[in-house]
Chain A
């Protein structure tokens, strides 16, 4: 059995003044993650404060863009799609979709890499992953 990932329409992303730099980088095909400079620890999702110290001593830094599937599920809707948490090589787990694959072949622990997928309207692309 095989279930190809659908090309469902991805809703527009709500960009705000704080998360805008993340999405500007995504438009250029670059994956960034949060770094707390007080503790030198990465964090996800991107935000303007450190979730470890609450200070604003944070910056967005490039991630390698590779990781493994921590967990996933396939929504068995008319347009099936896979929702997953991907653990990046940097250690943080990202809420995402696994795309461009047979949804019935996916496994926890599988290696994946980032792909950016267009969203509706003028919105920045969504950060998704595909098996390597």
Chain B
């Protein structure tokens, strides 16, 4: 079964906060859900499908449905593949709607790692008890930063990628973030500033890393008939792909990501190719994340990502592939350490023509959003959606 054209994104909302000292995680979920409903022109009791992850407090859908007062739910999905979850949820919501399992799906994300002073990238952390790989990784100081840094080191070794090329990704994000009043880092930076920022984990500098922010976002997805009865522009889910990649029983290859599999699945379902995409939201936990995903999604050949991103090729109005025009996780927002939600939201803004005028892609009708969740260097989820303005 194809989901192409069976569902539309009719509501999208990003919380403006970046530091939520005065709000609980549950309350942030409520505020993003309300924002997305207002955006769509729908009411709480219209929702009959609910999507969240393990980042939601308690037993996800149970405690959240209680707090939010969702009483009409007949479809639940709390698939958790880290930051890629919310891209994956768009695909799963479209599947559920296509099968008639629900009519109006709500996806929420919220968190407050900044208010809680979490050492997101530089302190070892586990995802729970009885995780079988933990005894073979946690004692060795596995962190988010070093698990991505090892991919960058190998990419440089195999393909000659340079720190300056990686820096161009941050530079492009900063060019976009300057226009976003909510962005955490609005200052335009240069390649020199990125490569001269303090080293966190070789070869990744502080400015190769994303921000740590509080907040969240929400999406409303529905059937075509309902979408067409609402007043918002028609943003159609055209294709979706998902995958996981891991250490492959010890024969791990760190030169590529799960986008190698999720990307082609999404393109095939959408019936389009990478060169058709006018705007791309690419997961940007680190600069290396972007570079590897661009290669694996087919925007350039494997190993050529460094050349592809250099010289402003990702800057809207300058380069061939405008990316993360909200400033992305690198400069704008990475709520709850999970960037998939904001990836979808900015793609929706571009397709509606509601991005900031300085970064809006003229006549944008075809966009891609892609997420990588977990750790690029060990095991991660990968999700791709292709969206079309009708």
Q: Is there an interface contact between B139 and A119, defined as CB atoms closer than 8 Å? A: yes
Measured between alpha carbons, how far is A12 from B368 in the docked complex, in Å?
Answer: 43
**Does B150 count as interface, using CB distance less than 8 angstroms?**
yes
Complex formed: what's the CA distance from A92 to B249 in Å? Answer: 8
| Contacts between chains A and B (CB distance < 8 A), count | 112
The contact string, 1 if C-beta is below 8 Å from chain B, for chain A 37-61, is 0000111111100011000000000
Q: How far is the CA of A48 from the CA of B202 in the complex (A)?
A: 35
Are the C-beta atoms of A84 and B150 separated by less than 8 Å? yes
* A71 close to chain B: CB less than 8 A: yes
Q: Considering the complex, which residues of chain A in the window 94-117 have a beta carbon less than 8 Å from any beta carbon of chain B? A: 94-97, 108
Residues of B within 8 Å of A70, CB to CB, are: 154, 254
Number of interface residues, chain A, beta carbon within 8 A? 45
Within the assembled complex, what's the spacing in Å between the Cα atoms of A103 and B289?
Answer: 25
The answer to whether A75 and B122 touch (CB under 8 A), given A16-B135, A45-B136, A108-B153, is yes
Q: How many residues of chain B have a CB within 8 Å of chain A?
A: 39
Contacts of A52 in B (CB 8 A): 249
Point out the residue from B137, B139, B203, B252 that lies within 8 Å of A10, measured CB to CB. B139
B100 within 8 A of A: no
A71, B201: Cβ atoms under 8 Å?
A: no
Determine the residue in chain B with the shortest Cβ distance to A18. B132
- A5-22 contact mask (Cβ, 8 Å, vs B): 1 or 0: 000101111111011000
Given A71-B153, A76-B200: 16 more A-B contacts, CB < 8 Å: A13-B139, A16-B130, A16-B132, A18-B132, A19-B132, A23-B135, A51-B249, A71-B254, A72-B150, A73-B153, A83-B146, A85-B150, A92-B249, A95-B142, A97-B141, A108-B154
Chain B residues in the interface with A (C-beta under 8 A) = 122, 124, 130, 132-143, 145-147, 149-154, 157, 198-204, 247, 249-252, 254, 378
A interface, CB within 8 angstroms of B: 8, 10-16, 18-19, 23, 33-34, 41-47, 51-52, 70-77, 81, 83-85, 91-97, 108, 119, 126, 128
